[in-house]
Structure 1
């Protein structure tokens, strides 16, 4: 995007809009949020302004309109190549209690001839296990650009790409958490990037309520289909030890947007909340059939159920039967 197309309202306008006194402040419209993010991406905002802006939004949480506007601006700058993708999956939290069992679900979906695009970040918290390490152990191709990701997807059916390789501003902005001590709207919109406009984009959130923001923002972004839910540690992995509500959006060719939700039942009843295992060797041993892990296997199967119900419009029982078969026949 050329600088001449950027809304030239001073950035102070956006800070004032969201930060005035109680009676005068308001949230940004989608267009205002888009223009504010354009200025941020163009480097026209000081660090002091950016920190104030992010934290003012953090205090009251971003609205769906703001989230959609921010994502629009970032997508404009990304300008991805055309690539047919079935499943888009963002991984920006890292696991701190359970292993990233969803990676085995994605492996099985790729074997079922679904194309999978996984994007994420490696954080600096030593007590968390980040997805890239598991992608490497599972011998996923790791892309360093969206062009390379397209090649890997077309050749291998799946790939992982660090977000800094296609949207470096996201990693920079997420890094502000270390200094500010709080998450920001960037942690929401990173999961929404879906640069290839996949048939299904799956978003895991940590806090209840953010799934609603993702769902409502998706109606404004006109993505084909989005599933958002509270996953384990904020990752897009269905927890089998609790009842999970999946918030869905589907936008059809007539530009009509349909929102609905469905529940995945609790199927694992022996969960120990004090249990902690993030040893990648355990996950690999389970994948190879050398070790059993009842919780992990249930997480894989239920995450598969989510995708199969969404993409193939199966009933829960149909999806459970197919997911269990995929796991047992791996």
Structure 2
């Protein structure tokens, strides 16, 4: 009878990223938020490609389920900023555009063009047309003569020429774009959709953010305060940075680490009728002064005023300058 050799068992080494999945997913009593430092370490591993696909999916959906804290958002942003190599470009306004519009035309694009035509340096960024039935900034760049910039040199040229500079997220943060693209695999948007609004990669004087989900605007404002950024966060129309003139708007601001709140009343006495269809050519016609649109022009003026408010102008002055800027735009 032959003696069998004893079976040797080895315990596999735990993947270093597993600790972050465990922190978020350890059940109702055991789970907790990540600290800012933990969030930065976790996102750093993701950006460095040191995470397994299953871990990434679990991590993003656990964050989605519990909702991100201000400290987590700040930590994620820290990780990206440490890895970004960007030139020292002067920027007035960071303008993220990730939601797309489906009820009204994207009038915010005329606001951005007007501000740029009047000398303000605007950096816009977005992540493509990821949801059917919406109009996205990227789809309208050619119609409105807004430069599509594929590198930082092109961004500088556009801003020097008094145009908004739009650069796709994929060209400066490809790992973030890949996470956004997981939407059709995971079946839900990940927290990266909202995180992208915080990034302000060029350190603009003010960042404008639109967060559609109620109660989450203050979290983004708090995250920006932690990062030392000046911002205004609103619930913009359709999720884009655009004031809806038919409703009251609440502004969640932070300036020099001091948080503030402001409410702007509706600009229209009664709600406008939603258009039956969205025709991008109408944007160009209004820009050229060939056509009037009550809703659109009020939205443009209020959105220009929003940007000027973020740069420190009081509301009344911001609206007065918005009207002057609109009249002085180059058509």
Moved over 4 A (4+): none
Q: 1:126 to 1:21 in 2, by over 3 A?
A: closer
Alignment of 1:1-330 (within 5 A): 10-223=16-229, 225-251=230-256, 257-272=257-272, 274-314=274-314, 316-330=315-329
2:38, 2:279 → 1: CA distance?
Answer: 45
Structure 1 residue 272: Cα displacement: 4.6
Q: Does the Cα contact within 8 Å between 2:237 and 2:244 map onto a contact in 1?
A: yes
2:85, 2:216 → 1: CA distance?
Answer: 27
Gaps of 5+ in 2: 1-13
2:90, 2:193 → 1: CA distance?
Answer: 26
1:157, 1:286 → 2: CA distance?
Answer: 18
Structure 1 residue 268: Cα displacement: 1.8
Gaps of 5+ in 1: 1-7, 252-256
1:207, 1:287 → 2: CA distance?
Answer: 31
Moved more, 9-18 or 133-142: 133-142
Find the structure with the greater CA-based Rg.
2
1:182, 1:150 → 2: CA distance?
Answer: 35
Calculate the TM-score normalised by the size of structure 1: 0.91
1:127, 1:284 → 2: CA distance?
Answer: 21
Structure 1 residue 47: Cα displacement: 1.3
Superimposed CA distance per residue, residues 89-145 of structure 1 (whole angstroms, 9 cap, x where no aligned partner): 000011111111111111111122111111112123331111023222221221112
Superimposed CA distance per residue, residues 268-297 of structure 1 (whole angstroms, 9 cap, x where no aligned partner): 243356534421101111111111110001
Q: Does the Cα contact within 8 Å between 1:96 and 1:129 map onto a contact in 2?
A: yes
Q: Does the Cα contact within 8 Å between 1:11 and 1:39 map onto a contact in 2?
A: yes
Calculate the TM-score normalised by the size of structure 2: 0.91
Q: Does the Cα contact within 8 Å between 1:98 and 1:276 map onto a contact in 2?
A: no
Q: Does the Cα contact within 8 Å between 2:113 and 2:163 map onto a contact in 1?
A: no
Q: Does the Cα contact within 8 Å between 1:67 and 1:188 map onto a contact in 2?
A: no
Superimposed CA distance per residue, residues 303-324 of structure 1 (whole angstroms, 9 cap, x where no aligned partner): 111122221422x222222212
Q: 1:276 to 1:65 in 2, by over 3 A?
A: farther
Q: 1:276 to 1:172 in 2, by over 3 A?
A: farther
